Structure 1
């Protein structure tokens, strides 16, 4: 009987041992949660203020020419006329959504992604891990669905029209699948985008 109990205890202990380097659902779920806690903000690529919109941009209907008046109407930005157009500054309300972003561990080559702060419209968190692929040793690409906590001002139909990705991400909560690449490090799986 003692021998059976000893074998059972060793088996239970082995089952409880957790290897953070193993490629499994628990480890990727934990890595996704860590990634989204740090990088889950859905931002608008509005990282440099003031934003100037020239008369030529307004006439051409540039991205900023369409988006900035909407942010102004919502009280997130305030515009003033300048020599060649309109200059927009964040208001105190807008500054509440201008979030600091932690520096990346690896260069991304994307100036918007690497900006130290950005105007953000929502925060994503993990809904569920849908699966993963292993394109190379020490690499995994996780597919997941997400939950979204949007800023109250994102319900405005004009926001959804001039920021179509915000609209798509909010509408896709729970169903739209996103992907994130992970690398195996000494302490376990970590998002490549951290």
Structure 2
């Protein structure tokens, strides 16, 4: 009877030891949900989760030609003014084909609009650089859904669902109308839309990398 008790105690000790080993630190180089989610949290919190509008430099001038052609700024800026984010003034300029009446409409950020003008470094294809952008939402990771590894298992394309914190004025129907892609991303936070992010395997583990996947 005594020997039986000793065997049970030994087996219990081994089981606890195995459980402790399983719950220890995971391998950062393993292609696991845990590692990819940790990498995404860090990457998105470091400014890469911002949803921005490529409106880098203010004030923005709207020519008569742009207004007549319903260019992007001609559609969006009047709505932003209605929402209190910008204020417009008429500025005289030399007459030209773009400004036959010799005037442009200049939009400047209001105090409210400047709340959304954030540090957000960007380098264009032409080599131009910008330090700031008008940003309207912040994405954070909900859960990694799946991942695809390359043949060398040194890079991965990770698919994930997300949470989003959007500017309150994005609830305005006109804001959704003139920013349809942003509105789609906001709606997709219900799980109907998944984001994809590239990862590279480094000496320290899996690291998210900027750029299209």
Q: Could you tell me the TM-score, scaled by structure 2's length?
A: 0.80
Counterpart Cα distance in 2 of 1:95 and 1:41: 15
How many angstroms does 1:6 deviate by?
7.2
1:142-170 deviations in whole A, cap 9, x for unaligned?
00111111111101111111111111011
Alignment of 1:178 with 2:186, yes or no, is no
Deviations 1:109-134 (A, max 9, x none): 4879x632211111111121110001
Structure with more relative contact order (C-alpha pairs < 8 Å, separation 6 or more): 1
TM-score normalised to structure 1 length: 0.87
- How large is the RMSD of aligned CA atoms in angstroms? 2.5
1:44 corresponds to 2:53: yes
- 1:108–1:193 contact (8 Å) kept in structure 2: no
Q: Which residue of 1 aligns with 2:34?
A: 26
Counting only pairs closer than 5 Å after superposition, residues 55-94 of structure 1 correspond to structure 2 as: 55-82=64-91, 83=93, 84-94=103-113
Asked if the contact 1:132–1:141 (Cα under 8 Å) also holds between the matched residues in 2, the reply is yes
Report the secondary structure of 1:175's partner residue.
coil
| Bigger mean CA offset, 171-180 vs 5-14 | 5-14
1:152-163 paired onto structure 2 within 5 Å? 152-163=168-179
Q: Secondary structure at the match of 1:115?
A: strand
Question: Which runs of no fewer than 5 residues in structure 1 stay unpaired?
Answer: none
Task: State the 1:9 CA deviation.
Answer: 6.2
1:97 alignment partner, one of 89, 92, 116: 116
User: Where do residues 104-119 of structure 1 align in structure 2 (5 Å cutoff)?
Assistant: 109=125, 115-119=130-134
Unaligned ranges ≥5, structure 2: 1-5, 94-102
1:139 aligned residue (150, 155, 161): 155
Question: What is the SS of the residue equivalent to 2:65?
Answer: helix
Residue in 1 that maps onto 2:96: none
1:130 pairs, out of 131, 141, 145, with 145
